[in-house]
Amino acid sequence: MDNRPIGVFDSGVGGLTVLREIRKLLPDENLIYFGDTARVPYGTKSKRTITAFAGQIVEFLLKKNVKLIVAACNTVSSNSLSYLKQHYPIPIIGVIEPGVELALKLTKNRHIGVIGTQSTINSKRYKILLLKSDKKLKISEKACPLFVPIAEEGLAGSAIAEMAIKNYLTKIKAKKIDTLILGCTHYPLLEKPLEKFFSKKVHLVNSGYAVSIIVKQLLSNKGLLNKRSRAGKISLFVSDLNETVLNVVKHTLELKQIRPKIISLD
């Protein structure tokens, strides 16, 4: 038993969907979140800068005495994870491999869709990992740049969300994928309209859910689970506090309003 917190970080607030999944599966754990909202987005920055920023965040979380860190950010997971794992003496889990593994378990027709930001799709990171495990997989990718601002604006339930989904995903739907990787931590906020669009016939892979399973396994194997009977504490930190942050905190966590604290890492 180990009551130290689990650290979760993202370039912004999308990673809160990952925090939410960990919370669901491991309600007793204390959780600390850091969102680098002053320097978001990372997708347009160089690998070197992304790794430097991620390193600063890991050091902040280590000072908070975390027992495990989740890099709940696709950009950090694809650019900096191996560096972070080598340089810090703590288990660090990204969001890409867990999503890929879950998708491979779920697909029956071996045709997987991948959606994400332009930078994630351009990186081909998901495609490369999927093909590594099965060269014959069919993969259909699509960048969906409107999904993040729609989620951040709390418009997931609106007709705008439905139209944006139709705009981006009509072709992928026609190709008969049976599994869709939500390759951006914001996208689980659009889970309901996405399920509606695909008439629940497509498995939606929420990497946060996939990550939470791995976190539980890892903590359990190492005897690091926190088995208290009351709910764990959630602490939120951001580098800039604005309305978007408060919006997403409200829509994602559905807990009584938690006000994030502001911390500068510069």
Half-sphere exposure of 221 (CA within 13 A, CB side): 8
User: Cβ closer to its own copies: 132 or 192?
Assistant: 192
Q: From the CB of 6, what's the least distance to its own copies, in Å?
A: 27
In the shown chain, the binding pattern of residues 59 to 88 toward its own copies, with x for contact by CB under 8 A and - for none, equals: ------------------------------
Residue 73 among the catalytic residues: yes
Identify whether the C-beta of residue 232 lies closer than 8 Å to the C-beta of residue 31. Answer: yes
CB atoms within 10 A of CB 141: 18
Catalytically annotated residue among 18, 57, 184, 204: 184
In the shown chain, the binding pattern of residues 106 to 125 toward its own copies, with x for contact by CB under 8 A and - for none, equals: ------------xx--x---
Burial class (CB in 10 A: 0-12, 13-18, 19+), 185: buried
Touching its own copies, residues 126-165 (CB under 8 A): 145-146, 148-150, 152-153, 155, 158-160, 163-164
If one asks whether residue 243 binds its own copies (CB under 8 A), the answer comes out as: yes
Binder to its own copies among 65, 82, 170, 242 (CB under 8 A)? 242
Binder to its own copies among 77, 107, 244, 252 (CB under 8 A)? 244
Show Cβ contacts of residue 33 under 8 Å, excluding neighbours closer than 6 positions.
Answer: 7, 8, 9, 10, 15, 16, 19, 234, 235, 236, 237, 260
SS3 143: strand
Catalytically annotated residue among 31, 58, 66, 73: 73
Show Cβ contacts of residue 63 under 8 Å, excluding neighbours closer than 6 positions.
Answer: none
If one asks whether residue 38 binds its own copies (CB under 8 A), the answer comes out as: yes
Residue 144 among the catalytic residues: no
Residue length, the chain? 266
First to last CA, the chain: 35
Pick the piece of the chain touching its own copies (CB under 8 A) from 42-50, 89-97, 197-205, 218-226: 42-50
Active-site residues: which are they? 73, 184
